[in-house]
Chain A
Amino acid sequence: MRIGRSQRFDQARPFVVLGAALAAWLMAPVALRSLVRASFFEMTAPVAAVSSYASDVERFWSLRLHSKDELIEAGRDMARLNASYSLEVQQNGELQAQVERLEALLHMPPSERYRFEHARVARRDFSGWWQRMVIRKGSDYGIAPGDPVVYTGGVVGRVAEVHAYTSVVELVTDPGLRIAAVVDGDTRPVSYQGADNPVFGPPHGIIEFVPLDVYASASAPKRLATSGLGGVYPPGLTIGRIVHVESSADGLFKTGEVEIDPRISELTEVTVLVPTDPG
């Protein structure tokens, strides 16, 4: 049975339309494409946020299903934790005051101050290309692109995009993120960069420009921390553990591998450090 010309066109129509749409998209002005992209993200962001809230509610109700005794026990544990945290907060306050006094005595310039914005994680987006997460706070909380993001284990990453109610955080495991770091016990800056991380593999990064007299191995790893010299991250935040270093062929430096805390892929809450004096 022969297929008529119009029938053949009908069959090809979806491809033609798709091709035309793609061509129109590619030929559209950059401003329009950016606007469409941003609008799309803003429109889909509530979906991620609602989904995240729904997970929180689900978790809340699953916790409510525990017996009263368990809840009372958990409450006691939390009270103890709260008490110890309160004590630490108080001690930190005293130390901070002491640091400020010493800085004033030495006429040192004031160190960079941050406001802490705690935010829930709405979505995680891990792929071979990028490692990102979406948090449930955006420009409404004064978050700006480039702000450092941390958690109890150290560095989470850096804010890459900010929308009205959400922000996209580029994780420390993302190949596009680079940090000026220092090896524990050393003051010379090295370059840390996220590596190509497999989706289900252990997160890791790479370090470059490591001085030749720095040694580390899986059996004797070294802590890698932020240097504070780069101007984005405050000093001393843990990035990961250096588990391997080797000399480069040119003999100038060593390069190495950094093991990142696997908790980073399961975070539910992070803290954005918003500079109080962005200037």
Chain B
Amino acid sequence: MTETTRNPGGLVESRTGFDPRIIAFHGLIAVLLAVLACGLVYQQIIKGAIHHEQERLQNERRVIVPGPRGDIFDRNGRKLVENRSRFAVVLYLDELRQEFRQEYIRIRNNYRASGDQDLPTSAQLERLARVSVVQRYMDQVNAMLGRTGSVDGGSLQRHLERQLLLPYTLIDDLKPEEFARLIERLPVRSPLQVYTSPTRSYPYGEAAAHVLGYVGANEEADVSELPGEGLTTLKMKGTVGRDGLEKQFDSLLQGEAGYTILRVDPAGYKVNPPIEIRHPVQGRSLTTSLDIDLQVAAEDAIGDQTGAAVALDVRTGEVLAMASEPGYDLNVFSPHLSVAAAADIEARKAWTNIALNGVYSPGSTFKIIVSTAALRNGVITPEDEPADCDGWMMVGNRRFTCDNGLGHHGKLSLSDAIGYSCDIYFYTVGLRTTAEVIAAEAKRFHLDRPTGIELPGETHRMLIPDPEWRRRKRNETWNPGDTANMAIGQGDVQVSPILLACFAASFARGETWTKPTLLHDPKRPEQHTEPIGLTPKQRAAILKGMEECTTEGTARVLTTLEALRVPGVRIAGKTGTAQIMSPEGRVDEAWFICFAPLENPTIAIAVAIQGTRPGENFGGGQEASPIASAILKKYFEKRRPGLAAN
């Protein structure tokens, strides 16, 4: 009941009583409050974590900074690839919000004051204001550096829309003196700052370009393990290995990315200091087995010719040099490969690593395989003189000639036949040994498969043919002429320079296989694989022939020419010349394989040089052995310091 009384002032005074309507009203309020409380509990406690996460995703941004890549060294600790710092002057746009606003108002007022009826839209005014403010900062930098740069409105707009929190680069790749001027003249707390980023640098320029490889831009850095999953993430460009060791060991060289988690306002501008920061860490370094002195010597010796040279440590299989020409200066890739530079490399056909991907007939270097096969199978003894070379012989109804020397070697022992590279001797021995046996011997030396060296893209086009292969692949029969051709490393036999270098190293050790590696390990144990299977006398006969090759045979220039002589070092070698098809026609391919010192070999080399003109006088002795000589000279000069003086 509610009673009301009218007091003298005319006000109505109410008294609360037991009015059911009021109670019902209170009840209703209580229920509503309870609903609100439940809603509050539901939203705050049950769904609190979801809201918190949504707020976090909306208000926080993650900026990823890739870590610099690790360095690459040669076996003696000299830096082959390093990071060069690249200085840029950048503008932190997220600190300019107030200036953008003021400039916006100023421009709008100017338009209004001028009475211009065609007032730009708000978005246009905003863009104008931003470009104007950034250009003002650019002008400051221009005045300090004496430049005349201007702001690209389009790129600025894109940056503002997509990467507001990342610094906007005004001028990239500053010179040291420009860096110094900016350091001294820019206020410490200016939105303009000098920004450093790493870029690859190659102190030896072209040296080992194909082995070291190059890097390209990487915008897809793996950030899955970094905190801040789900946040809008802005990534600064990193790099990824695109070829060579840079590609093969990308995960090792790749630095550890750093990150910054920032709080932003609804417009995307940074507010407050960063919530979390972790600086990037440089990737791990790689020590290669290359000896840069040998590498440079090999490349200089090849010069303008097209070809390759591979030098291996006989005992461990470590690659001491792997040269391939034509090459390219790796510094043209840093920071970016220009279209012109790429076109130049393409025009010179310099992309290919011939040492790894070039496949050619091995020519007479294959005679070492034929000799081994014949000796092991008892077809000949070292003293046998199975042929009398008078320059030619008939195999079936086809005439085969001896292309080495004067073509009249007469009767020769195995050693002399190797030394003078008598084709008639090897046609005869090859025919007696049979193609199957020769092919099996070549396969025993792993000449039919890739070496598995730690470089991407090694060729699989090497080939050791036999009658079965011919029947299966071409549905053709194998005839004696094919065996004769195979016996001198011609026909379908195809190998790469790295394969022949491995063969030379294996033969030097008296074994059949050498696993090449580009990684240097001072404690690497000596390699030991299947023994070659020759008696000491048999092996000595082949070695004698190989030494004869470098003293009086096809590679005698190594001892007769003072400039090519390696004093005090006995070299076992074998030349070879094969024919390949080029756009100009059939040209010669000159080979030379060797190892030294003969009495205790430590280095094995394979050189392949491509002729340029059809019909020119081109051979392993004249064209390829001088390159091996340059490598050997440098190698022994380092091991025996007095050698250079001699």
Contact = CB atoms under 8 A, between A and B. Distances in A.
Contact of A250 (B176, B188, B198): B198
A262 interface: no
A209 B182 CA distance: 13
B282 A191 contact: no
B183 A249 contact: no
Contacts of A252: 68, 83, 85, 196, 198, 282
Given A252-B85, A252-B196, A231 B183 contact: no
B400 interface: no
A250 B181 CA distance: 24
A227 interface: yes
A250 B187 contact: no
A155 to B, nearest CB: 12
A178 interface: yes
Contact of B188 (A193, A229, A248, A249): A193
A249 B279 contact: yes
Interface in B220-261: 255, 258
A163 B297 CA distance: 67
A210 B181 CA distance: 16
Contacts of A231: 144, 181, 184-185
A177 interface: yes
Contact of A230 (B68, B180, B187, B189): B180
Nearest to B70: A251
Chain A interface size, under 10 / 10 to 19 / 20 to 34 / 35 or more: 20 to 34
B67 interface: yes
A93 interface: no
A249 B257 CA distance: 11
B92 interface: no
A251 B282 contact: yes
Contacts of A248: 279
- Residue among A193, A232, A252, A253 with max Cβ neighbours from chain B (10 Å): A252
- Residue among B180, B255, B280 with max Cβ neighbours from chain A (10 Å): B180
B111 interface: no
B526 interface: no
A183 B144 CA distance: 24
A180 interface: yes
Interface residues of B, number: 26
Interface string A234-263: 000000000000001111110000000000
Contacts, number: 73
- Residue among A188, A189, A191, A253 with max Cβ neighbours from chain B (10 Å): A189
Contacts of A229: 176-177, 180-181, 184
Interface string A169-180: 000000111111
B635 interface: no
B355 to A, nearest CB: 31
B188 A178 contact: yes
A230 B181 contact: yes
Interface in A185-237: 188-189, 191, 193, 209, 227, 229-233
A194 B282 CA distance: 27
B204 interface: no
Interface string A96-108: 0000000000000
Contacts of A178: 183-184, 186, 188
B553 to A, nearest CB: 50
Contact of B181 (A175, A176, A180): A180
A156 to B, nearest CB: 15
A178 B180 CA distance: 10
Contacts of B186: 178
Contacts of B187: 176
Interface in B178-218: 179-181, 183-189, 194, 196, 198
Contacts of B176: 188-189, 229
Given A175-B188, A178-B188, A209-B196, A250 B255 contact: yes
Interface in B262-302: 279-282
Interface in B80-132: 83, 85
Interface in A61-106: none
Contacts of B183: 178-180, 189, 191, 230
Nearest to B256: A249
A253 B177 CA distance: 18
Contacts of B67: 250
B99 to A, nearest CB: 14
A191 to B, nearest CB: 5
A180 to B, nearest CB: 3
A251 B82 CA distance: 10
A229 B189 CA distance: 21
Given A252-B85, A253-B85, A180 B184 contact: yes
B147 to A, nearest CB: 14
Contact of B184 (A209, A232, A250, A253): A232
Interface string B495-528: 0000000000000000000000000000000000
A249 B282 contact: yes
A233 B177 CA distance: 14
Contacts of B279: 248-250
A229 B183 CA distance: 10
Contacts of B185: 230-232
Nearest to B285: A251
A249 B181 contact: no
A179 B196 contact: no
A189 B281 contact: no
Nearest to B65: A250
26 contacts: A176-B187, A178-B184, A178-B188, A180-B181, A180-B184, A189-B176, A189-B180, A209-B179, A209-B196, A229-B176, A229-B177, A229-B180, A229-B181, A229-B184, A230-B185, A231-B144, A249-B279, A250-B255, A250-B258, A250-B282, A251-B68, A251-B255, A251-B282, A252-B68, A252-B196, A252-B282
